[in-house]
Structure 1
Amino acid sequence: MRALLVLLVLGICAYWVACVPTQDKRDHRIHHSKDLSDHTHDDSTDFQYDHEAFLGKEEAKTFDQLTPEESQERLGKIVDKIDQDKDGFITGGELSDWITHTQNRYVYENVNKHWADYDENKDHKISWEEYKKTTYGYAAGEVEFYDVVDKEKYRKMMKRDERRFKQADKDGDLIATREEFTAFLHPEEFDYMQDVVVTETIEDIDKNGDGSVDVHEYIADMYTPEADEPEPDWVKTERQQFKDHRDLNKDGKMDRSEISHWIHPQDYDHADLEAKHLLYESDKDKDDKLTKKEILDNWNMFVGSQATNYGEDLTRRHDEF
């Protein structure tokens, strides 16, 4: 009897795991346009922002473990890849294209990593039914989340996923190609997904349900004060940012158009600005293009190594004392 009871409990647990979507499969929260690095862009402190912008976050970590000689050797090979027309010069456009490529690489690597989990019939496409079954389990069918505590929460999550899937699915057959599935998982990277990104952003931040985002909702999305805690300076700065740059028509809230401008600024291209920065700092003869020598002469701005990290660590330790 006890053995039967154990088997029954294990069976229920297994079903529960299948029913409840895991966090990594349902966490599609959309934020405003991402920066090229989590680090502050302050060259007087270090070049970590530039390293992650130029190499990508994960590759920058690899370079941090190299000797200066190895780092420069690998940088030379990268320069050859950046020079698309093989004329021996790196233009601002080529540099910008490279930075965009490195920043988007994680998107496609993420899709490739999880593709087999969703493509159950191995037809190199992912249907909405395959995604729904893999993400939400059998409870997404006729069962309707009967064994899930917060049924309504999961119903809303699935409907939100379905809406985004249909938006990504250009031909409307509810079967996603690799490109369409990439747009579904990373809609912030695709122009034709902008409308659904705005919609999801409003759903996430708009707590009073009026279809817009006021300054209180804007701040609450990024900061929750502790009891009797004075408001930090950065929060005061964000309040001013909302007033000066987010609320364009000065009505005290952001509508769909203003939110779209916030998360997809048309006049701010991170990759292009970083390319211009690297070009300006490395172009010694001021001909608006870089040779491999000019880049290698300024290699520590483009890439890291054990030597540059050691120097930064010494600086930090000195500042701490």
Structure 2
Amino acid sequence: MPQLRRPLVVAVPTEDLREALASVPATDVVVWDLSGEPPRPDLDVVVVPYMSDPTALTALEGLRPLLVQSQSIGYEGVSAVLPAGLTFSNAAGVHETSTAELAIGLMIASQRRLPALIRAQADHRWAHAASLSLADSRVLVVGQGGVGRAVVSRLRPFEVDVVRVAATHREDAEGVVWAVGELPGLLPDADVVVLAVPLNASTVGLVNREFLATMRPGALLVNVARGQVVVTEDLVEAVRAGQIRAALDVVDPEPLPPEHALWDLDEVLLTPHVGGHSAAMRPRVVALLRRQLDALSAGAPPHNVVIPARTTTPPAGA
């Protein structure tokens, strides 16, 4: 990629991001949230609105930016709608810390019965009782990408027995990483199972009736991956039967309809897909964008490319 001889033209979805990048040399920053007409035809970088539906990317048809930059790690559904010829990067490095932090918080809150204690506080009841703990438990972390590794590193000081699971069996400096195919032999001994896998053809519906039935009775399922990794109907059935408990930052469908059964299950703790949406997000997004602009200005390849430019757009559902 040749070094650019003109200012980079960058479209960001918010005024806040425009201000954060205003001081970057040799850069023109404009605001565009992919709705309406693009502000100019010569955009070099387009930053996608956070948590937007992938179909918003159809607004890029006819444009030829050097890079389309997401503010999320996941990019499911993007390939089917990203116009041909465009390069797409995800936000690896932005959300892992906050998502792992929330995963730990969900584990502690569920194990130590914080929702029940908060309800007791609202009723002015002194509800002293013993609870489960995170210490001395066995925690299965399924998925060893950025989020999974961040969860593991934060679990270590809690004096837990961490069992790592990934797509394939291997060994590294920290010991064994078990394969997803070996889960049936691992689930019965786990007190907590954390889902931190990407959403793809091999993980859709991974947690189904059989998976849940194999878990230790009363164990906790924590999902900070994607809602479709879990078969929701099977999860509701298992929780209602008293088989397992759940702490979920992501669900299917999302957002969860007001009448959905998950809202009213005592052994389910819900947060509305806020794992990466913390005060740590903005500075890390800005830092990533600055690195991308430095690379593009120098004629270097962009970082975090997950969908390289191609000549044709795959059909929907591909």
TM range (shorter): under 0.3
Larger fraction in helix: 1
Task: Answer 1 or 2: which has greater strand percent.
Answer: 2
* TM-score for the superposition, normalised by structure 2: 0.20
Larger Rg computed on CA atoms: 1
